[in-house]
Amino acid sequence: MEVDRTKREKRPGAALIAIVLVGFLVLSLVSAVVISIAWNTLRVEAWQTEQIEKIRLDYLARTAAKAVTDELTADPDNFGILNRNGIVSQPKVITDGTFSATVEVTIKGDDQRANVVAKASSAKGGSALVRTTIDLTTTPKTVTWSAGN
């Protein structure tokens, strides 16, 4: 069976158009996969940065509370007579590279118990709060820790 030459040459670019369309389809699928991977990578990176900031703020608040607690347990008279109004520190700005945080410590209590509250907050809106309660009547002095925002 012989194919008529005129029928064969009626659409000379049909194969080329099909190849170009399949190529665009494959290129679109590959591009969608690459964009999806890049988007997910950016989301994970932002989440990790947020978690690192939370850890840094928590560590900073714990360190401040620990320093004040150690000083209070060593010699409570260093802070004078504690009263219900308490002692509020001036906010201290801590900067390390791109990380910047403000630390504030509050001490309240009386001759029997002292409460130390350390709060660390960043310019990005994150914060960490650490509380310690010191029983000044026992020897050795008992310290109870709690954390939360």
Q: Domain extents for the chain? A: 14-147
pTM across the whole model: 0.71
pLDDT at 80: 64
Please compute the mean of the pLDDT values over residues 112-140 and round it to a whole number.
87
pLDDT at 5: 57
pLDDT at 10: 67
Please compute the mean of the pLDDT values over residues 93-109 and round it to a whole number.
89
Higher-pLDDT residue of 68 and 24 is: 24
State pLDDT tens for residues 38-61: 999 999 999 998 999 999 999 999
Cα(108)–Cα(133) distance, rounded to whole angstroms?
Answer: 10
Percent of the chain with pLDDT over 90: 44
Question: In what helix (H) or strand (E) does residue 106 lie, and over which residues does it extend?
Answer: strand 99-109
Mean pLDDT for all residues in the chain: 84
Check residue 69 and give left, alpha or beta (phi > 0: left; psi -120 to 50: alpha).
Answer: alpha
